[in-house]
Amino acid sequence: MKIQILTVARRTARMVGTAILALIVAFAVGEGLPNPLNQPLDVILLSVAMLTMVVGLVMAWRWERIGGLLVLGGLAFFAIVNHGVQLNVVFGPMLVVGLLYSGCGWWWRKACGPCGTTSSSA
């Protein structure tokens, strides 16, 4: 039962994370990326935070804990630089996805062991 819950949580994180990633990529392609040399420091730092979250979303497909922590760390850094974050259509689900990935990576290892296989009592 625990494995089924983790599988549902993982699939939910992947679907929502992929949707967020598609939204960010569509926005970046449509608007274009700003030249960092012409931007103030806070905009550069916010861009680094967003890039950290995007890298975390991609990495979480293979390494859930690391990817989830990158998403959460990038979101926290964004909130610090921006003096808070409004949990809107991007940042609210980003928080949930980061928590799901981190939690799945943590509990999967506890439930299945370091090699990722379920232990059988044969």
What is 1-58 written as a DSSP string? -HHHHHHHHHHHHHHHHHHHHHHHHHHHHHH-PPPGGGS-HHHHHHHHHHHHHHHHHH
pLDDT of 107 reads 81
Can you tell me the distance from the alpha carbon of 57 to that of 105, in angstroms, rounded to the nearest whole number? Answer: 13
Residue 70, CA distances (Å) to 13, 99, 120 in order: 14, 11, 33
Instruction: List pLDDT tens digits, range 24-42.
Output: 999 989 998 878 889 999 9
Instruction: Strands of 51-120 (E only): list them.
Output: none
Segment 44-87, tens digit of pLDDT? 999 999 999 999 999 999 999 999 999 999 999 999 999 988 88
Q: Where are the domains of the chain?
A: 2-112
Higher pLDDT, 93 or 111: 93
Q: What is the pLDDT of residue 8?
A: 92
